[in-house]
Structure 1
Amino acid sequence: MNWQPEVDEIARRRELAERMGGPEKVARQHAAGRSTVRERIAALADPGSFDEIGALAGTASYVDGSLESFTPANFVIGTARLDGRRVAIGGDDFTVRGGAADAAIMEKQVHAERLANELGLPMVRLIEGTGGGGSVKMLEQHGFTYVPVNPGWDLVVDNLSAVPVVALCLGPVAGLGAARAVMSHLNVLVEGAGQLFVAGPPVVKHATGEDLTKEELGGADVHRRSGAIDRIVESEAEAFAVAKQFLSYLPSSVDSLPPVRSTADPVDRREEALLSLVPRNRRHPYRLRPLLDGVFDEGSVFDYAVSGGSAYAGLARLNGHPVGVLATDPYRGATLTPEGADVMTRLVDLCETFHLPLVSLTDQAGMVIGAAAERAGAIRHGARAVTAVYQARVPMAEVIVRRVFGVGGAGQVNRHRLVRRWAWPSGDWGSLPVEGGIEAAYRAELDAADDREARIEEIRARLDAVRSPFRTAERFSIEDVIDPRETRARLCDWVPDAYAVLPKLVGRPSFGMRP
């Protein structure tokens, strides 16, 4: 006699697990415009690559020793390949008690985190639901309550400094689910389908009196500036594509280097548009996208964060080498806001954790000022960003495109260490902009002038003569002033030197990454 009956039972139980919450709950999920967790894994992973772990875990009932019914645990885990790279995947099954942990085998969630941590695999979390203790109704059913604990949180925290972690908010995400989402290096929200909040509308209404829909409480419009979400996308398919693209810049763990790709984009490509990109009139903005496209490998620019305002944070490649990118979008402002400083901190921490050299295309007018900025504690946020820059050990390069002013400009890179640096002829720097400082510095002269405006123009002309970047280059306070069209070639020549230094940094970062 062989073990065929038991093998048949394995197949039967796997088939029951794949039914998830049953046809009615699956239909409800589809009616809401959302896929099931198993459909999501199939769409995300390379075909046939998902190796599920723990499919037989769940709640079973027996009659005379025979299985009568089976409800699978509402958390699906396993390993898979994304564009050929092995990753760990953990996904909530919203069709079984809305993804609440009272219907889960919590060890599965913990196991997924340990799988990524100990094998050095990127972690992808497909999040939908509370991921926490469920409803208060469970207290009566269980007959007891408990002191809250965040399951596996030691691993969740440690993974931020060990492996790339991507969280995809694919439906309503609350409580522990929301905490798991933000404990990631990239947190993506599907607009319209996904919402992120600490507690849902019924709890909020009881606690605060606010009567809000899920979308009003935690939808895309809420999180465009909140900092809790890094990218907002239009569909699950786009979320999966963003996750794959993000991971393509990073090593599988901190114990290896970022993957270098081949590229057909010439390293000596000269974009003529860069010569006239920055207007001579300092009050006129320029478009950031042509600058990024003119410098980095074609099609390689990845926008990292949605909430930074004028502060741009991204990833890109130089001759196939992944790098982090800091810049400013002049059409969204010139100063560093608290939100922008937080985005800057986040990118620098990411680069330090996963050994990506950092490139700053500097156009920084300093910290945001004014009463609102002071109420928001702008200086503390800005100082935190500068601290992240100074703590980072990765090689840095800087191209001064336009402005460098104040504490914000001074802290865009760590100028107390070796930074390969070039300036464009449009470079303009100092402790504060000339335009804003004349009134204060020349008050007595202006007060005595018969024609105040004419005297301001006269002073400005005198100062313009000495604010030329060539004067700074004469003192070797800026190493080189270059033709903007040379920027790509210069950076592509620098990046192999930067990567030659990186093996010394392999391993855990000098400080843990903060969410």
Structure 2
Amino acid sequence: MFYGKRYLELMEQVIKGGGEKAILRHTQRNKKLLVRERLQLLLDKEETLELSPFAGFGMPYGDIPAAGCLTGIGKINGVWCVFIANDATIKGGTAYPITVKKQLRAQNIAIQNRLPCIYLVDSGGAFLPLQADIFPDKNHGGRMFYNEAVMSAVGIPQVAVVCGSCTAGGAYIPTMVEETVMVDSIGTIFLAGPPLVKAATGEDVSPEELGGATLHAKVSGCIDHFAATEEEAYECARNIIATLNFDLPPHKTTNFEEPLYTAEELNGLAPKDYAHTLSIKLVLSRLTDGSRFLEFKALYGTTLVTGFAQIKGHLVGIVANNGELTHNAALKGSHFVQLCDQRGIPIIFLQNTRPNVTMAGTLSKAEDVTNQLKAQGSMMAAVACATVPKITIIIGGCYGGESFPMCGRSFDPNFLFLWPNAKVGLVGPNYCSEIQEPDGQNQDEAQLKIMKERLENESSAFHSSSRVWDDGVILPKDTRMVIGQCLNIIKQKPRLHSQPERRAVLRM
């Protein structure tokens, strides 16, 4: 499968980090552990959910593997935690615009799911040539510090381990968390390093004298725990998480049935395009426990499939495209989403929407389109206002307006993943043939070809994931496992219904 091959190629590049030379410099000259070795010491020996591993590829300023940092969710002493860990083998841990975006997404996941957050800081600060895209705006670098303050205020614990350089704006990360651990000899915290001090004052000062662990432990008080080695630092961080006094949910369910059909078959069932006529129930039968599915309104609005099932022992509602989101299908979706919200049941959206199409024609057709838009608007409102957790998997097309009621990224799902074959765009490449110049003339063939190729390239799953429009590309065969992990993670947060008054479910 071509898309699977591309997935494996990119994953190999991610694991290599900054390359052999950078790894040797990091481990031999600087005497530091690699970021994945650090996470092995920090996290429990269980599966972790890595987020956006393909972020940073194909950016205008070059390839930044994994955006220069690893983010994800793993257990520390039994508690699900978000981790944000700089990889200093990639551009010295320097923060690029895509690095900031990936870190902010990880923080937002921590906020939305009320997960403790731990930062492994090893960064030289922002990449100055791109400062205009990193520093001044609302969702640029300073937002990390704003988020740290807000998270602390609402009771989301944060811990930092300073295991390398912590320079310039990055120096605020460890000084704003509740507890900070710092590694002797390799960890430093300062706004400006020795070269800038020398240039500004003429003073010669070593990194340790300016901002080492001893200084911050004994003099400034910026850190709370002094660690002689990295191994000691991660053990200390684990012990801090053990003191959070979290009221953990019961252990994850293990007595569930596997699907009757193998997950490997999902690779062959992945839709090639939005118009693929494959029944979504073939996909569902390879995701749900015992391949069971209690369908809701089975004979109404059949281009959308809704119903209840269990995945890895968790009760879920499923909303899945089986074609165009028609008027009746959208009304059914609105009804079902409200039902799940009233019952406190998480919703899984399986999205395979279609590109926008031209709707010119008779008055009756225009009226039909208007009614369809109103119904889709009702479903958008139901999805936006539902307080239950939402997980979206884009298994095929994610196009235009129909992606919104199916809980696209702008509708704030707790997690959103794509299959490698997924397409994400406002319109499909075939839309180019309908584009006209202002004078009404069609564009020439060369222009149309260029536009079509651009739409094709920019709608790929890997283009989307490189820009953190999602939480990562997953292989179809891993979908059940990933959904199960997300449901276990979500379960750690007690559900608080945001509506002070309960409302009746409206039969749309």
TM-score of the superposed pair, with normalisation by structure 2: 0.45
Task: Pick 1 or 2: higher relative contact order, CA cutoff 8 A, min separation 6.
Answer: 2
Larger radius of gyration: 1
